[in-house]
Amino acid sequence: MSAGVLGRSLELYFIDGRPDGMLTAEVFNWTGHVLVTPRTRLKEALSRPQSSFTGVYLLLGERDGKPLAYIGEGEDIAARMKSHEANKDWWTTAVLVTSAANNLHKAHAKFLESRLVEEARKVGVMPLDNGNTPPRPGLSESARANMEAFLDYLFMVLPAVRIDMFVQNVRPAALAAPSTPAITPSVQFTLDYPKQGLKAVAVLEDGEFVVQAGSQARAAWEGQEKATSAYASLHDDLKRSGVLIPHGNHCVFAENYAFSSPSAAAAVVYGRQAQGTTAWKTSIGQTYKDWEAAQLAD
């Protein structure tokens, strides 16, 4: 954690006592309230008081075997959700975002909807069922600042409840001042796949495993477990969002990209499941696994 960054406490309440049921998420000193519900529990979710408040909502699911989301707003979310239950048959999970004190109004909700659509399209990992990005409503400077602060908390909460469509894993390239030499990363790992003519380079940055722009990856997922592999979906997402772009018989990383683990990075490069802790190696041939063991021993 960077100096000066304070930790925050998130409270999750599993309403059904089950991890796959309804849950609420709140943060101390944040006015927001997040309710996540499977479609099968929609009736119970919409009977809760916050569901009739003003706010925004996300619908998540699949259509034609591909992930899809919809972002909307309403002065009475429950009423909007009932219409979507009849008109949209592809979604399986809903996320309702309101204020615990119901102090959001229509313009606030429209601003949040517009910004969420903007961010989802900027990240690009989740296709949207929305048409055009809705325009931002006219808000005062202070109201816009308040809504941006509201979003900062929301973007922290959503990944904690497994909603990752706003997580930006693209990392800017490090730029050195013209009068100074480029800074060499403290540790760099390379993955070679001679059989397919692939090579990738990654560095550790602030605890993230970041594959560098220009690294190569398999053009398509070749593993047998594509239907069930999260890494296969990630491979598809990176191609769809333009992080991986076609280059001859393979793909290249157009931008630096932060993975959750060396294995996730190796799987995308190989186009199949992989043991990343042994596939990635330092310049002296030490595997990530051995390097990590040495760090722990020190």
Give the separation between CA 240 and CA 238, rounded to whole angstroms.
5
User: Would you state the pLDDT for residue 61?
Assistant: 92
CB atoms within 10 A of CB 207: 7
Give the separation between CA 136 and CA 109, rounded to whole angstroms.
10
The dihedrals phi and psi of 21, each to the nearest 5 degrees, come to -100, -155
pLDDT tier at 224, thresholds 50, 70, 90: low
Give the separation between CA 22 and CA 91, rounded to whole angstroms.
15
Position with higher pLDDT, 227 vs 18 = 18
240 contacts: CB under 8 Å, gap ≥ 6: 124, 125, 127
Q: Checking DSSP bridges between strand 216-218 and strand 250-253, what pairing results, if any?
A: antiparallel
With a cut of 60, say whether residue 217 has pLDDT above it: yes
User: Would you state the pLDDT for residue 176?
Assistant: 37
**pLDDT single digits (tens) 117-138:** 999 998 888 899 998 888 999 8
Percent of the chain with pLDDT over 70: 91
Q: Residue length, the chain?
A: 298
pLDDT tier at 100, thresholds 50, 70, 90: confident
Q: Provide the edge-to-edge strand list for the sheet that holds 66-74.
A: 10-14, 23-27, 32-38, 91-99, 55-63, 66-74
Range 231-255 average pLDDT: 91
Give the separation between CA 19 and CA 138, rounded to whole angstroms.
39
Give the separation between CA 38 and CA 99, rounded to whole angstroms.
21
Give the separation between CA 14 and CA 23, rounded to whole angstroms.
4
Are the CB atoms for 243 and 234 separated by under 8 Å?
no
**pLDDT single digits (tens) 50-86:** 999 999 999 999 888 788 999 999 999 999 888 776 6
Are the CB atoms for 87 and 50 separated by under 8 Å?
no
Distance of CA 28 to CAs 54, 123, 170, 247, Å? 21, 27, 29, 48
The average confidence (pLDDT) of the chain is 88
